[in-house]
């Protein structure tokens, strides 16, 4: 009788784990949403169930509201994402009962340097730094994935994306990020030519000194 009892306990524990996993995932998403704050210039994807006129990708204007004939009356900048959804849902109750909507921020991220398609990209918050560079067409043959400059909140970081398990590889982008892929160095142009230039300058100084 021990085997059936053990099996029942095992199945029960697996069931609890299966239920706990989605709950933990939802908790992590909720925690992330609490930290998401929209700024003027950010893009937002609003999806309203069965209402295409109120759905679409909209920019947050300088007044802190979405650039939309109706949404422009609802300020949302500087608020957590759950508060943004609550405000828009309350606003939509003027036009329909129990509106169902999803608000997904699209962060403005600059990807430049040695990438194939440098540009300013509106990216979902789940986009990682590596994915952002891939969306810009990937690096050129002269690009260095182990030396990417990240400018965030007035600070500069050097990012190495060659390690799949590295600190920055799976780091999500943030609003206003700037990613610059640096160019590969060349020994001849980076070391030898400057050295020749210095040697030439020294030789010129010596010749001038000898003439005196």
Burial bucket for residue 129 (CB in 10 Å: 0-12, 13-18, 19+) = buried
Please state the pTM of the whole predicted model.
Answer: 0.63
pLDDT in tens, 179-201: 999 998 754 444 444 444 544 54
pLDDT of 166: 85
* pLDDT for 7: 41
User: In the chain, pLDDT over 90 holds for what percent of residues?
Assistant: 58
Q: Is 74 helix (H, G, I), strand (E, B) or coil?
A: coil
**What burial class does residue 51 get, using C-beta atoms within 10 Å of its C-beta: 0-12 exposed, 13-18 middle, 19+ buried?**
middle
Task: State the average pLDDT over residues 37-65.
Answer: 92
Q: Higher model confidence: residue 40 or residue 31?
A: 40
The per-residue pLDDT for 96 is 92
Residue 101, strand partner residues: 48
Phi-psi region of 98 (alpha: psi -120 to 50; beta: other; left: phi over 0): left
List, as own/partner pairs, every contact residues 66-73 make where C-beta atoms lie below 8 angstroms and the sequence separation is at least 24, other chains included: 71/46
Mean pLDDT in the chain?
79
Give the model's pLDDT for residue 39: 83
Q: Which residue has the tokens 């030898």?
A: 192
Q: Where are the domains of the chain?
A: 43-99, 106-187
Confidence of residue 125 (pLDDT cuts 50, 70, 90): confident
pLDDT of residue 123: 93
Topology at the third CATH level for domain 106-187: Outer membrane lipoprotein wza fold like (3.10.560)
Average pLDDT over every residue of 12-32: 38
- Can you tell me the mean pLDDT for 132-154? 96
Q: How confident is the model at residue 19 (pLDDT cuts 50, 70, 90)?
A: very low
pLDDT digits (tens, 9 = 90+) for 63-87: 999 999 999 999 999 998 899 999 9
């Amino acid at each position: 009788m021990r085997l059936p009892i053990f099996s029942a306990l095992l199945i029960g524990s697996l069931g609890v784990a299966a239920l706990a996993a989605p709950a933990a995932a939802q908790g992590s998403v909720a925690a992330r949403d609490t930290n998401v704050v929209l700024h003027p210039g950010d893009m937002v994807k609003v999806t309203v169930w069965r209402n295409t006129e109120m759905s679409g990708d909209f920019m947050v204007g300088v007044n802190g509201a979405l650039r939309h004939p109706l949404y422009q009356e609802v300020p949302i900048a500087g608020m957590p994402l759950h508060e943004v959804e609550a405000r828009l849902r309350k606003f939509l109750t003027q036009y329909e009962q129990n509106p169902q909507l999803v608000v997904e921020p699209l962060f403005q991220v600059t990807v430049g340097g040695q990438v194939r398609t440098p540009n300013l990209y509106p990216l979902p918050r789940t986009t990682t730094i590596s994915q952002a560079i891939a969306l810009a067409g990937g690096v050129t043959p002269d690009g260095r994935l182990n030396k990417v400059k990240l400018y965030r909140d007035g600070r500069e970081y050097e990012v190495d994306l060659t390690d799949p398990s590295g600190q920055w590889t799976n780091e999500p982008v943030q609003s206003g990020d700037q990613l610059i892929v640096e160019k590969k160095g060349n020994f001849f142009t980076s070391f030898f030519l400057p050295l020749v230039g210095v040697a030439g300058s020294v030789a010129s100084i010596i010749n001038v000194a000898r003439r005196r």
